[in-house]
Structure 1
Amino acid sequence: MKWTWKNCPSAWRGAFQGASGKATVVLEAIATEDLRIWHAFIGMPGSNNDLNILDASPLISEYIDDNTPRFTYDISGHEYDFLYYLADGIYPEWKCFVKTVSTPLDNKQKKFAAFQESVRKDVERAFGVLQARFAVVARPAMTWSLD
């Protein structure tokens, strides 16, 4: 989600100006289907793309440093012991990112693609509820500083 920063200092405007032409701050979040946001990272300039935000994300730093929680789970008879995240096609080919099948060839792939796309919408829904419930994130930020 990109949050408009109305009072962005003029000297910083170029760095924070995204495709919309307005200064924005990026909010990276991970949400579950029951609207629980269990990770949020805010403050990156809106001019950054997903890969730049990923590079600065503390969540990914923990993954790279192998500091993520360990637990095991089973999917279709295969046991796994790492967290995974549903992601867009632009993300790197890391085992923690599960991407949709861009051109599904059979029913199994079509079902997976439909399920993955629907679950990815949970974050968008969580942001929608957050904006409706707390108008502060629906309106432009009026602060002069990110601190």
Structure 2
Amino acid sequence: MAESTTIEYLCKFCRAVVEVFGPQYLRSPNAEDTTRILAQNEAREFYGMLGSIDCLHWAWKNCPFAWQGMYKGAKGGCSVCSNVFAKLVEGHAPPVNFKVNGRQYNKGYYLADGIYPRWSTFVKTISNPVPGGKNSYFAKCQEACRKDVEQAFGVLKSLFAVVRQGPLAAVDHQVPVAWAAFLNMRQEIRDPQVHQELQKDLVEHLWRLKGNA
């Protein structure tokens, strides 16, 4: 079979896969998915956690040289984070409400390491904490939970090329309800104070549970 014919029918096959399986498997999490994820992570005492942000990057093979510094990944090379907060900013993400250490929050978060910004939607580990204290215990729990998520995702990457290479279907962005709400949500996501408060609340929450165990 000629190369051009092979490529043509491979493209048709890929389009058929997207058309048949896209609505179920190549989409953003819906309210039911989000509820299930939150329940699983709540069982590990990370209330409001949606996953690990390191699982949401795809390698950018032909990243332009001038942009490589901007898109440099934690382990070298270039990567692009999926539009994980797009629906949240646009006002169409499933609601996430939870309370930790007596404080109410209305946005889910992702576990992250130190290279990520101090956003309200990231809970980062604590670097070089004093051994034996609450910060050290939090860092141990956070890193263990993050690695569990990443290892499970690594198994999927080894089995399914679509997870390794990125989605075949286009991301469906919906028009924001209003520009004022769009800009306000964007500012809330980038709020370093909420980031700090959430991390402290989780530190206290996990330490209290350790004391009661």
TM-score band, normalised by shorter chain? 0.5 to 0.7
Match status 1:71 vs 2:96: yes
Please, which runs of 5 or more residues in structure 1 have no aligned partner?
Answer: 1-30
**CA root-mean-square deviation:** 3.8
Which TM-score applies when normalising by structure 1? 0.53
Taking structure 1 as reference, are residues 65 and 44 closer, same or farther at Cα in structure 2, changes over 3 Å only?
Answer: farther
1:53 maps to what in 2?
Answer: 80
* Code of the aligned partner of 2:72: N
> 1:43 offset after TM fit, Å?
5.7
Please say if residues 114 and 125 of structure 2, whose CA atoms lie closer than 8 Å, have aligned partners that are also in contact: yes
Greater fraction helix: 2
**Per-residue deviation at 1:70?**
1.6
Larger radius of gyration: 2
Tell me if 1:118 matches 2:141: no
Q: TM-score scaled by structure 2?
A: 0.39
Aligned to 1:14: none
Match of 1:81 in 2: 106
| Contact kept in structure 1, 2:97 and 2:108, CA below 8 Å | no
2:128 to 103, 112, 118: 103
If each structure's strand is expressed as a fraction of its own residues, which one has the higher value?
1
2:173 maps to none
SS at match of 1:95: coil
Question: How far apart, CA to CA, are the structure 1 residues paired with 2:144 and 2:117?
Answer: 21
> 2:4: which partner in 1?
none
1:58 is displaced (CA, Å) by 1.7
Q: Which has the higher contact order (CA 8 A, sep 6+)?
A: 1
Q: Quick one: which amino acid aligns to residue 92 of structure 1?
A: P
CA shift at 1:76, angstroms?
1.4
Name the aligned partner's letter for residue 112 of structure 1.
F
Where in structure 2 are there 5+ consecutive unaligned residues?
Answer: 1-36, 42-50, 64-70, 170-213
The share of aligned pairs that are identical, in percent, is: 35
**Correspondence for 2:155 among 129, 140, 146:** 129
What letter corresponds to residue 116 of structure 1 in structure 2? Q
